[in-house]
Amino acid sequence: MKSPLAVMVLVLLLATALAGCVASPNSFKGTPRSSGTVAGFWLGMWHGFIAPFMFVASLFKPNLAIYEAHNNGAWYNFGYLFGLACFFGGGNRASRRKCA
């Protein structure tokens, strides 16, 4: 049987690790970047589509990011997720019938 102290320490460590993953507000939302534009749906979709490639590139070049901080909020996020879904098949594999 596990001691209550070990369980409490494990729970606190897990809670601390999960707290580090909590999203914070984007202070750049709605503010234009250096080019004077704010990323919207279409740019979000493009960024979502190229995100796997940009992730690999960002491992070697620290000044690259896979997400645009200067975005318009929900529409950019929707486009980003839509682009990711398009890249990874969009659930097409799950709806395919399997022949016997």
Residue-wise pLDDT for 60-84, tens only, equals 988 888 888 888 888 999 999 999 8
16 part of a folded domain: no
pLDDT digits (tens, 9 = 90+) for 27-60: 778 888 888 888 889 999 998 999 889 989 989 9
pTM, to two decimals: 0.64
**Does residue 96 carry a pLDDT above 80?**
no
Task: Pick the more confident residue, 71 or 90.
Answer: 71
- Please tell me the predicted confidence (pLDDT) of residue 21: 75
83 part of a folded domain: yes
Range of the domain at 38: 28-90
Compute the distance between CA of residue 40 and CA of residue 71 in angstroms, rounded to an integer.
6
55 part of a folded domain: yes
18 part of a folded domain: no
- Please tell me the predicted confidence (pLDDT) of residue 13: 92
99 part of a folded domain: no
Tokens of 100: 């016997």
11 part of a folded domain: no
3 part of a folded domain: no
Q: How many domains does the chain have?
A: 1
Of the candidates 14, 17, 22, 71, the one whose C-alpha atom is nearest the C-alpha of residue 47 is: 71
- Please tell me the predicted confidence (pLDDT) of residue 79: 92
21-25, 70-74, 85-89, range with greatest mean pLDDT: 70-74
